[in-house]
A = this chain, B = another copy of it.
Amino acid sequence: MIEKAEFEGFEYIEGGVCAAQGFKANGIQCGLKHEGSINTSKKNDLAVIIADKECTAAAVYTTNKVKGAPIQVTRENIADGKAWGVIVNSVNANTCNADGVEKAQKMCELASKEFDLKPSDFIVASTGVIGQPLPIEPIEKGMPELCKGVNYNGNTEAVNAIMTTDTMPKECAVEFTLGGKKCVMGGMLKGSGMIHPNMATTLTFITTDAAVSHEFLQRALSDVIKTTLNMVSVDGDTSTNDMVCVMANGMAENNLIAMDNDDFAQFENALFIVMVNLARMMARDGEGATKLIQCVCAGADSVQTAQTVAKSVITSSLFKAAMFGEDANWGRILCAIGYADADFDINRVDVNIASRAGKIAVCRNGAGVEFSEEEAKKILMEEEITILVMLGEGEFNATAWGCDLTYDYVKINGDYRS
């Protein structure tokens, strides 16, 4: 397990999307499968989240030109900044199908009937194989059971339903205060392959009982995404279905956040903590991954430069394969820094490699320095590795997260459909 960093004033709690008051969830196996698959797993494939009262909602979506039909429908449904719940399936992405939008609308309609709401009160999402028609019958058949079963501890069934090649559920929730009122924010995420920055990366649903205006909720999400999920890459492939949604039901009774004040800053901090933890879990659980790789680029003359360099390192296939091999082949780190699309003097670059087991300098002023291969090996045997790149040009930092490239990545993706 990777460790969660401590933040003053925030306490990690259990409960995922049900941690905040007034959110129920559930997940079931309705029986979705794709052509040719012999799906004998008992994994859930359909989930719902429902709020006790109408929520303020905000979302960000993939930048891929190919967009899943659910994205189009969600975008329309939350154009008013409001939502009551989420309906989501795995196995099939409902993307590149002629009848995709119709099917996504149908999912909202089916869910809304169970709760006596309007179809447009729902956020809808799908993840799985692209380009196969979504069978609506299993969803239709399973919907009553799914919705009747919602409860305040349903997060576990729900997160199970959104997993695809994920090997572990990804949830995080924190408790904090806003103007003396206890607030909670919690979320769940799925994502393991087809993961690359430029947007939200994968499906993420976050709920909170804090009161916040639509404008400031969207602003917080659009801010925080940049330094969290958008700094993760597993394989350089930007998915067609990426979506991050946040729903806030206001039941914590804090003063409504609708201006740029301390409460908004604290709210953003909470969102950052939830999302950075989910981002790290996602990178650690990258398809086939055995390690979480974190690259911190410090001393840049802009955030942009720091982000570009940090991402370039964690995206390099050669570097990632070396991490799998626990080989301190720092030349590949320098190579990836060198082809990053940013301006800086390569002759001032320092590189350290670190983990719980220690820290070594491998490069100073763009040239190698002697280090103990034995010590390097000890450091690289850990599950969480940090590459520290110091550009020596300014005061801006950024962190990117990725994973190693392993046999299992190839195995999983060499035959994903069946």
A residues at B contact (CB < 8 Å):
35-36, 63-67, 93, 95-98, 129-132, 193-194, 196, 198, 235-240, 315-318, 321-322, 324-325, 327, 329-332, 334-340, 344, 346, 363, 366-368, 373, 405-407, 409-418
Contacts of A367 in B (CB 8 A): 96-98, 131
> Known contacts A321-B409, A321-B413, A407-B410; is A130 also within 8 Å of B332 by CB?
yes
B410 A236 Cβ-Cβ under 8 A: no
CA separation between A93 and B331, bound complex, in Å? 10
How long is the Cα–Cα vector from A234 to B198 in the complex, in angstroms? 23
Q: Please determine whether B240 and A321 come into contact, CB atoms closer than 8 angstroms.
A: no
Contact among B96, B198, B317, B413 for A366, CB-based, below 8 A: B96
* Total copies of the chain: 2
Contact (Cβ within 8 A) A331 B410: no
Report 27 cross-chain contacts, Cβ distance below 8 Å, ordered by A residue.
A35-B373, A64-B338, A65-B337, A65-B340, A66-B334, A66-B337, A67-B338, A93-B331, A97-B368, A130-B334, A131-B330, A131-B331, A131-B367, A131-B368, A194-B318, A236-B236, A238-B338, A239-B335, A240-B331, A240-B335, A317-B409, A321-B410, A321-B414, A325-B415, A327-B414, A327-B415, A327-B417
Contact between A368 and B66, CB atoms less than 8 A apart: no
In the complex, the answer to whether A339 meets B405 with C-beta atoms within 8 Å is: no
A65 to B391, CA, bound (A): 13
- Nearest Cβ distance between residue A106 and chain B, in whole angstroms? 18
Apart from A96-B368, A238-B339, A327-B418, what 10 extra A-B contacts exist at CB < 8 Å? A95-B331, A130-B335, A237-B332, A237-B335, A317-B413, A321-B409, A321-B414, A325-B416, A327-B414, A407-B407
Asked if B410 contacts A237 (CB within 8 A), the reply is no
Q: Closest B residue to A323 by CB, please name it.
A: B414
Give A366 Cβ to nearest chain B Cβ, in Å: 6
Closest-CB distance, A193 to chain B (whole angstroms) = 6
Chain B residues near A131: list those with CB within 8 A: 330-331, 334, 363, 367-368
B95 touches A413 (CB 8 A): no
Residue in A132, A240, A344 with the greatest tally of chain B CB atoms within 10 Å: A240
Task: Give Cα A339–Cα B241 distance, bound, in whole angstroms.
Answer: 12
Q: CA–CA, A327 to B325, complex, Å?
A: 28
The reply to whether B317 and A237 contact each other, CB–CB distance below 8 Å, is yes
Compute how far the CA of A65 lies from the CA of B412 in the bound complex, rounded to whole angstroms.
35
A308 CB to closest chain B CB (Å) equals 12
Cα distance A415–B373 when bound, in Å?
Answer: 14
Beyond A65-B339, A97-B367, is A322–B413 a contact (Cβ under 8 Å)?
A: yes
List of 5 A-B pairs having minimum Cβ-Cβ separation, nearest first: A130-B331, A325-B414, A66-B338, A321-B413, A131-B368
Q: Name A66's closest neighbour in chain B (CB-CB).
A: B338
Q: Could you tell me the distance in whole angstroms from the C-beta of A291 to the nearest C-beta in chain B?
A: 12
Chain B residues within an 8 Å CB radius of A237: 316-318, 332, 335-336, 339
Instruction: Known A132-B368, A329-B416, A410-B405; judge A240-B338 contact (CB<8 A).
Output: yes
| Complex Cα gap A330–B129 (Å) | 10
Most buried by B among A98, A130, A340: A130
Q: From residue A34, how far is it (CB to closest CB) to chain B in Å?
A: 11
Nearest chain B residue, comparing its CB with the CB of A198: B339
**Chain B neighbourhood of A337, CB < 8 A:** 65-66
Taking a contact as CB atoms closer than 8 A, the residue among B65, B324, B363, B412 that contacts A338 in the complex is B65
Task: Please give the distance in Å from A289's CB to the nearest CB on chain B.
Answer: 12
